[in-house]
Amino acid sequence: MTGMGVGTTAVAVAGLRLAWAGERAQPETVVLDDFTLAVPPGSFTCIVGPSGCGKSTLLRVLAGLLVPDGGTAQVGGADVRGRPGACAWLPQRDNLLPWRRVLANATLGAEIGGRSRAEAEAEARPLLERFGLGGVERSWPSQLSGGMRQRLAVLRTFLIDSPVLLLDEPFGALDALTRRRMQTWLQEVWLDAPGERRTVLLVTHDVEEALLLGDRVVVLSERPGRIVADIEVGFARPRPAELVSDAAFVAQRAALLAALGA
Ligand SMILES: Nc1ncnc2c1ncn2[C@@H]1O[C@H](COP(=O)(O)OP(=O)(O)OP(=O)(O)O)[C@@H](O)[C@H]1O
Ligand SMILES: [Mg+2]
Protein backbone atom coordinates (compact mmCIF):
# COMPACT_ATOMS: atom_id res chain seq x y z
CA MET A 1 0.00 0.00 0.00
CA THR A 2 1.27 3.45 -0.83
CA GLY A 3 2.37 5.26 2.32
CA MET A 4 1.60 8.90 2.84
CA GLY A 5 3.67 11.15 5.03
CA VAL A 6 2.29 12.56 8.24
CA GLY A 7 0.61 15.89 7.66
CA THR A 8 -0.28 15.39 4.01
CA THR A 9 -3.94 15.41 3.15
CA ALA A 10 -5.21 12.15 1.73
CA VAL A 11 -7.91 13.85 -0.28
CA ALA A 12 -8.15 17.52 -1.17
CA VAL A 13 -10.50 19.27 -3.53
CA ALA A 14 -10.55 23.04 -3.87
CA GLY A 15 -12.67 25.43 -5.85
CA LEU A 16 -14.26 22.51 -7.63
CA ARG A 17 -16.80 23.32 -10.31
CA LEU A 18 -18.77 20.87 -12.38
CA ALA A 19 -21.78 21.61 -14.58
CA TRP A 20 -23.74 19.60 -17.12
CA ALA A 21 -24.56 21.44 -20.33
CA GLY A 22 -28.31 21.90 -20.87
CA GLU A 23 -29.91 20.39 -23.97
CA ARG A 24 -30.89 22.92 -26.66
CA ALA A 25 -31.61 26.28 -25.02
CA GLN A 26 -31.89 24.85 -21.51
CA PRO A 27 -29.59 26.36 -18.88
CA GLU A 28 -26.70 24.26 -17.59
CA THR A 29 -27.03 22.29 -14.37
CA VAL A 30 -24.41 23.38 -11.88
CA VAL A 31 -23.71 20.42 -9.62
CA LEU A 32 -20.62 21.62 -7.77
CA ASP A 33 -19.58 25.24 -7.50
CA ASP A 34 -16.47 26.37 -5.64
CA PHE A 35 -16.51 23.21 -3.56
CA THR A 36 -13.63 22.72 -1.13
CA LEU A 37 -12.89 19.80 1.20
CA ALA A 38 -9.71 18.35 2.69
CA VAL A 39 -9.47 15.06 4.50
CA PRO A 40 -6.51 13.77 6.57
CA PRO A 41 -5.01 10.31 6.01
CA GLY A 42 -6.62 7.44 7.89
CA SER A 43 -9.81 9.33 8.66
CA PHE A 44 -13.39 8.29 8.02
CA THR A 45 -15.55 11.04 6.53
CA CYS A 46 -19.25 10.66 5.87
CA ILE A 47 -21.01 12.88 3.37
CA VAL A 48 -24.76 13.42 3.62
CA GLY A 49 -27.02 15.67 1.59
CA PRO A 50 -30.25 15.78 -0.39
CA SER A 51 -30.72 13.66 -3.49
CA GLY A 52 -29.12 15.25 -6.54
CA CYS A 53 -26.84 17.61 -4.60
CA GLY A 54 -23.66 16.21 -6.13
CA LYS A 55 -22.40 13.53 -3.71
CA SER A 56 -21.83 10.84 -6.33
CA THR A 57 -20.44 13.49 -8.65
CA LEU A 58 -17.80 14.39 -6.06
CA LEU A 59 -16.77 10.75 -5.68
CA ARG A 60 -16.61 10.29 -9.46
CA VAL A 61 -14.32 13.30 -9.74
CA LEU A 62 -12.03 11.75 -7.09
CA ALA A 63 -12.22 8.41 -8.88
CA GLY A 64 -10.88 10.24 -11.94
CA LEU A 65 -13.97 9.42 -13.98
CA LEU A 66 -15.47 12.90 -14.27
CA VAL A 67 -13.26 15.83 -15.16
CA PRO A 68 -14.31 19.01 -13.34
CA ASP A 69 -14.74 22.28 -15.22
CA GLY A 70 -12.64 24.09 -12.65
CA GLY A 71 -10.75 23.66 -9.42
CA THR A 72 -8.31 21.05 -8.21
CA ALA A 73 -8.71 17.45 -7.05
CA GLN A 74 -5.83 15.68 -5.36
CA VAL A 75 -5.31 12.31 -3.73
CA GLY A 76 -2.10 11.86 -1.74
CA GLY A 77 -0.90 15.13 -3.21
CA ALA A 78 -1.29 14.00 -6.84
CA ASP A 79 -3.69 15.49 -9.36
CA VAL A 80 -6.46 12.98 -10.12
CA ARG A 81 -8.49 15.01 -12.63
CA GLY A 82 -9.24 12.62 -15.46
CA ARG A 83 -6.84 10.03 -14.04
CA PRO A 84 -8.64 6.97 -12.70
CA GLY A 85 -6.93 4.60 -10.31
CA ALA A 86 -5.84 6.67 -7.32
CA CYS A 87 -8.85 5.58 -5.23
CA ALA A 88 -10.79 2.39 -4.72
CA TRP A 89 -14.34 3.31 -5.69
CA LEU A 90 -17.54 1.48 -4.85
CA PRO A 91 -20.24 2.90 -7.13
CA GLN A 92 -23.77 3.54 -5.92
CA ARG A 93 -24.92 0.27 -7.45
CA ASP A 94 -22.76 -2.74 -6.62
CA ASN A 95 -21.89 -3.56 -10.26
CA LEU A 96 -21.18 -7.22 -9.51
CA LEU A 97 -20.68 -9.19 -12.72
CA PRO A 98 -23.32 -11.94 -12.85
CA TRP A 99 -21.09 -14.21 -14.95
CA ARG A 100 -18.24 -14.19 -12.45
CA ARG A 101 -18.36 -16.31 -9.31
CA VAL A 102 -18.01 -14.70 -5.87
CA LEU A 103 -14.22 -15.12 -5.71
CA ALA A 104 -13.74 -13.81 -9.25
CA ASN A 105 -15.94 -10.80 -8.50
CA ALA A 106 -13.92 -10.13 -5.36
CA THR A 107 -10.67 -9.98 -7.32
CA LEU A 108 -12.00 -7.96 -10.25
CA GLY A 109 -10.87 -4.53 -9.08
CA ALA A 110 -7.43 -5.79 -8.12
CA GLU A 111 -7.08 -7.47 -11.54
CA ILE A 112 -8.09 -4.29 -13.31
CA GLY A 113 -5.45 -2.56 -11.19
CA GLY A 114 -2.84 -4.83 -12.76
CA ARG A 115 -2.44 -7.71 -10.28
CA SER A 116 -2.53 -11.28 -11.51
CA ARG A 117 -5.66 -13.23 -10.72
CA ALA A 118 -3.63 -15.79 -8.74
CA GLU A 119 -2.11 -13.08 -6.60
CA ALA A 120 -5.47 -11.36 -6.05
CA GLU A 121 -7.15 -14.67 -5.18
CA ALA A 122 -4.43 -15.53 -2.67
CA GLU A 123 -5.16 -12.27 -0.91
CA ALA A 124 -8.95 -12.58 -1.21
CA ARG A 125 -9.38 -16.14 0.10
CA PRO A 126 -8.57 -15.48 3.77
CA LEU A 127 -10.66 -12.31 3.68
CA LEU A 128 -13.81 -14.07 2.44
CA GLU A 129 -14.34 -15.48 5.92
CA ARG A 130 -13.71 -12.09 7.51
CA PHE A 131 -16.30 -10.55 5.20
CA GLY A 132 -18.91 -13.19 6.02
CA LEU A 133 -18.56 -14.89 2.65
CA GLY A 134 -16.86 -18.09 3.77
CA GLY A 135 -18.19 -21.08 1.85
CA VAL A 136 -19.78 -19.15 -1.00
CA GLU A 137 -16.71 -18.35 -3.06
CA ARG A 138 -17.93 -20.63 -5.87
CA SER A 139 -21.48 -19.18 -5.85
CA TRP A 140 -22.83 -16.75 -8.41
CA PRO A 141 -23.87 -13.25 -7.30
CA SER A 142 -27.51 -14.11 -8.05
CA GLN A 143 -27.36 -16.77 -5.31
CA LEU A 144 -26.41 -14.26 -2.61
CA SER A 145 -28.60 -12.24 -0.26
CA GLY A 146 -28.57 -8.44 -0.58
CA GLY A 147 -26.30 -8.15 2.46
CA MET A 148 -23.85 -10.69 1.04
CA ARG A 149 -23.76 -8.87 -2.28
CA GLN A 150 -22.89 -5.65 -0.50
CA ARG A 151 -20.18 -7.33 1.56
CA LEU A 152 -18.74 -8.75 -1.64
CA ALA A 153 -18.81 -5.32 -3.28
CA VAL A 154 -17.04 -3.83 -0.24
CA LEU A 155 -14.50 -6.70 -0.21
CA ARG A 156 -13.73 -6.05 -3.87
CA THR A 157 -13.13 -2.38 -3.05
CA PHE A 158 -10.90 -3.30 -0.08
CA LEU A 159 -8.79 -5.54 -2.33
CA ILE A 160 -7.90 -2.63 -4.56
CA ASP A 161 -4.46 -1.52 -3.45
CA SER A 162 -5.29 2.08 -2.72
CA PRO A 163 -5.04 4.12 0.49
CA VAL A 164 -8.37 5.86 -0.22
CA LEU A 165 -11.78 4.17 -0.34
CA LEU A 166 -14.78 5.93 -1.90
CA LEU A 167 -18.01 4.21 -0.84
CA ASP A 168 -21.19 5.52 -2.44
CA GLU A 169 -24.20 4.49 -0.33
CA PRO A 170 -22.83 0.99 0.20
CA PHE A 171 -25.83 -0.13 2.31
CA GLY A 172 -28.57 2.05 0.82
CA ALA A 173 -30.61 -0.82 -0.57
CA LEU A 174 -30.66 -2.94 2.59
CA ASP A 175 -33.33 -3.33 5.26
CA ALA A 176 -32.73 -1.44 8.52
CA LEU A 177 -31.57 -4.42 10.56
CA THR A 178 -29.12 -5.71 7.94
CA ARG A 179 -27.87 -2.20 7.39
CA ARG A 180 -27.12 -1.75 11.09
CA ARG A 181 -25.16 -5.02 11.10
CA MET A 182 -23.23 -3.95 8.01
CA GLN A 183 -22.32 -0.63 9.61
CA THR A 184 -20.70 -2.20 12.68
CA TRP A 185 -19.08 -4.81 10.47
CA LEU A 186 -17.63 -2.19 8.10
CA GLN A 187 -16.19 -0.33 11.08
CA GLU A 188 -14.58 -3.56 12.31
CA VAL A 189 -12.98 -4.53 9.02
CA TRP A 190 -11.74 -0.97 8.57
CA LEU A 191 -10.25 -0.84 12.10
CA ASP A 192 -8.80 -4.37 11.95
CA ALA A 193 -7.29 -4.27 8.47
CA PRO A 194 -3.51 -4.71 8.54
CA GLY A 195 -1.23 -1.92 7.43
CA GLU A 196 -1.78 1.80 7.43
CA ARG A 197 -5.40 2.73 8.15
CA ARG A 198 -7.21 3.65 5.00
CA THR A 199 -8.92 6.93 4.36
CA VAL A 200 -12.64 6.51 3.75
CA LEU A 201 -15.16 8.83 2.13
CA LEU A 202 -18.63 7.35 2.53
CA VAL A 203 -21.78 8.83 1.06
CA THR A 204 -25.04 8.05 2.83
CA HIS A 205 -28.59 9.29 3.30
CA ASP A 206 -28.70 7.76 6.76
CA VAL A 207 -27.61 10.23 9.47
CA GLU A 208 -27.29 7.44 12.06
CA GLU A 209 -24.95 5.57 9.72
CA ALA A 210 -22.92 8.75 9.28
CA LEU A 211 -22.62 9.25 13.06
CA LEU A 212 -21.86 5.60 13.78
CA LEU A 213 -19.10 5.42 11.20
CA GLY A 214 -17.63 8.86 10.68
CA ASP A 215 -14.88 10.75 12.44
CA ARG A 216 -16.52 13.64 10.71
CA VAL A 217 -19.83 14.26 8.97
CA VAL A 218 -20.06 16.77 6.15
CA VAL A 219 -23.57 17.96 5.29
CA LEU A 220 -24.23 19.32 1.81
CA SER A 221 -26.97 21.70 0.69
CA GLU A 222 -29.26 21.26 -2.29
CA ARG A 223 -27.51 21.46 -5.67
CA PRO A 224 -25.01 22.98 -6.14
CA GLY A 225 -23.81 21.11 -3.08
CA ARG A 226 -22.17 23.36 -0.52
CA ILE A 227 -21.01 22.42 2.94
CA VAL A 228 -23.70 23.63 5.36
CA ALA A 229 -22.39 21.73 8.38
CA ASP A 230 -19.13 19.99 9.19
CA ILE A 231 -19.41 18.00 12.40
CA GLU A 232 -16.63 16.25 14.35
CA VAL A 233 -17.80 12.93 15.78
CA GLY A 234 -15.82 12.04 18.86
CA PHE A 235 -17.34 8.74 20.06
CA ALA A 236 -14.72 6.13 21.02
CA ARG A 237 -14.19 3.20 18.65
CA PRO A 238 -15.23 0.54 18.12
CA ARG A 239 -18.70 2.04 18.38
CA PRO A 240 -21.43 -0.42 19.27
CA ALA A 241 -24.79 -0.32 17.48
CA GLU A 242 -26.42 0.60 20.83
CA LEU A 243 -24.67 3.97 20.64
CA VAL A 244 -27.66 5.21 18.63
CA SER A 245 -29.71 5.50 21.83
CA ASP A 246 -26.97 7.37 23.74
CA ALA A 247 -28.02 10.92 24.67
CA ALA A 248 -24.97 12.55 23.05
CA PHE A 249 -25.62 10.58 19.86
CA VAL A 250 -29.28 11.57 19.81
CA ALA A 251 -28.27 15.22 20.22
CA GLN A 252 -25.81 15.03 17.31
CA ARG A 253 -28.43 13.32 15.17
CA ALA A 254 -30.83 16.18 15.86
CA ALA A 255 -28.15 18.71 14.90
CA LEU A 256 -27.46 16.84 11.67
CA LEU A 257 -31.13 16.59 10.75
CA ALA A 258 -31.52 20.31 11.42
CA ALA A 259 -28.56 21.06 9.12
CA LEU A 260 -30.23 18.91 6.47
CA GLY A 261 -33.44 20.87 6.90
CA ALA A 262 -35.26 17.65 7.73
N1 LIG B 1 -24.73 12.32 -17.12
C2 LIG B 1 -25.42 13.35 -16.62
N3 LIG B 1 -25.97 14.29 -17.41
C4 LIG B 1 -26.64 15.34 -16.91
N5 LIG B 1 -26.86 15.52 -15.59
C6 LIG B 1 -26.35 14.63 -14.76
C7 LIG B 1 -25.61 13.50 -15.20
N8 LIG B 1 -25.22 12.77 -14.12
C9 LIG B 1 -25.71 13.42 -13.04
N10 LIG B 1 -26.39 14.53 -13.43
C11 LIG B 1 -27.06 15.48 -12.51
O12 LIG B 1 -26.11 15.94 -11.57
C13 LIG B 1 -26.75 16.17 -10.32
C14 LIG B 1 -25.98 15.53 -9.22
O15 LIG B 1 -26.03 14.11 -9.36
P16 LIG B 1 -25.37 13.14 -8.29
O17 LIG B 1 -25.51 11.77 -8.82
O18 LIG B 1 -24.01 13.62 -7.95
O19 LIG B 1 -26.32 13.38 -7.03
P20 LIG B 1 -26.30 12.65 -5.61
O21 LIG B 1 -26.08 13.70 -4.58
O22 LIG B 1 -25.36 11.51 -5.62
O23 LIG B 1 -27.81 12.14 -5.49
P24 LIG B 1 -28.41 10.77 -4.84
O25 LIG B 1 -28.43 11.03 -3.38
O26 LIG B 1 -29.76 10.69 -5.42
O27 LIG B 1 -27.52 9.63 -5.25
C28 LIG B 1 -28.19 15.69 -10.47
O29 LIG B 1 -29.02 16.80 -10.67
C30 LIG B 1 -28.15 14.83 -11.70
O31 LIG B 1 -29.37 14.87 -12.38
MG1 LIG C 1 -25.58 9.48 -5.52
CATH of the domain at 209: 3.40.50.300
Q: Is the CB of 135 under 6 A from ligand 1?
A: no
Mapped onto helix, strand or coil, the DSSP state of residue 47 is: strand
Q: Is the CB of 245 under 6 A from ligand 1?
A: no
- Do the domain assignments include residue 177? no
pLDDT score, position 102: 95
Indicate the top mutation candidate among 13, 30, 57, 92 to test ligand 1's pocket, ranked by most ligand atoms within 8 A of CB. Answer: 57
Q: Is the CB of 164 under 6 A from ligand 1?
A: no
What integer best gives the mean pLDDT of the chain? 92
Q: Which ligand is nearest to the CA of 19?
A: 1
Q: β-strand 44-48 against 199-203: which pairing, if any?
A: parallel
Mapped onto helix, strand or coil, the DSSP state of residue 119 is: helix
Close Cβ partners of 157 (under 8 Å, ≥ 6 residues apart) = 88, 89, 90, 109, 165, 167
Q: How far is 90 from 117, CA to CA, in rounded Å?
A: 20
- Do the domain assignments include residue 113? no
Return the higher-pLDDT residue of 258 and 8: 258
Domain extent for 260: 1-77+201-262
- Could you report the per-residue pLDDT of 50-64, keeping only the tens digit for each? 999 999 999 999 999
Residue 243 has pLDDT above 90, yes or no: yes
Residue 156 has pLDDT above 80, yes or no: yes
What global pTM score does this model have?
Answer: 0.94
Query: Which residue's CA lies nearest to atom 5 of ligand 1?
Result: 20
- Do the domain assignments include residue 207? yes
pLDDT score, position 5: 47
DSSP state of 21: P
The per-residue DSSP string of 211-262 comes to: HHH-SEEEEE-SSSP-EEEEEE----SSPPGGGGGSHHHHHHHHHHHHHHT-
DSSP state of 191: H
**What average pLDDT score do residues 236-258 get?**
96
pLDDT score, position 39: 97
- Do the domain assignments include residue 97? no
Share of the chain above pLDDT 70, in %: 97
- Do the domain assignments include residue 21? yes
Residue 2 has pLDDT above 50, yes or no: no
Q: Is the CB of 54 under 6 A from ligand 1?
A: yes
Query: Which residue's CA lies nearest to atom 18 of ligand 1?
Result: 54
- Do the domain assignments include residue 208? yes
User: What is the atom index within ligand 1 of the atom nearest the CA of 92?
Assistant: 27
Cα(79) to ligand 1 centroid in Å equals 23
**Among 235, 236, 226, 212, CA closest to 260:** 226
Give start and end residues of each alpha helix (H) in 131-175. 146-158
Residues in the chain: 262
Q: Is the CB of 53 under 6 A from ligand 1?
A: yes
Q: Is the CB of 91 under 6 A from ligand 1?
A: no
pLDDT score, position 194: 85
What's the number of domains the chain is made of?
1
Residue 168 has pLDDT above 80, yes or no: yes
- Do the domain assignments include residue 213? yes
Residue type (1 letter), 124? A
**What average pLDDT score do residues 17-45 get?**
93
Return the higher-pLDDT residue of 147 and 11: 11
- Do the domain assignments include residue 260? yes
- Could you report the per-residue pLDDT of 71-119, keeping only the tens digit for each? 999 999 999 999 999 999 999 988 899 999 999 999 999 998 888 999 9
Cα(58) to ligand 1 centroid in Å equals 10
Residue 52 CA neighbour count, 13 Å, CB half: 5
Residue 3 has pLDDT above 90, yes or no: no
Least confident window among 32-46, 110-124, 227-241 = 110-124
**Among 62, 107, 86, 89, CA closest to 162:** 86
pLDDT score, position 1: 44
pLDDT score, position 4: 45
Query: Which residue's CA lies nearest to atom 20 of ligand 1?
Result: 52
Q: Is the CB of 57 under 6 A from ligand 1?
A: yes
When pLDDT is cut at 50, 70 and 90, the band that residue 7 belongs to is: low
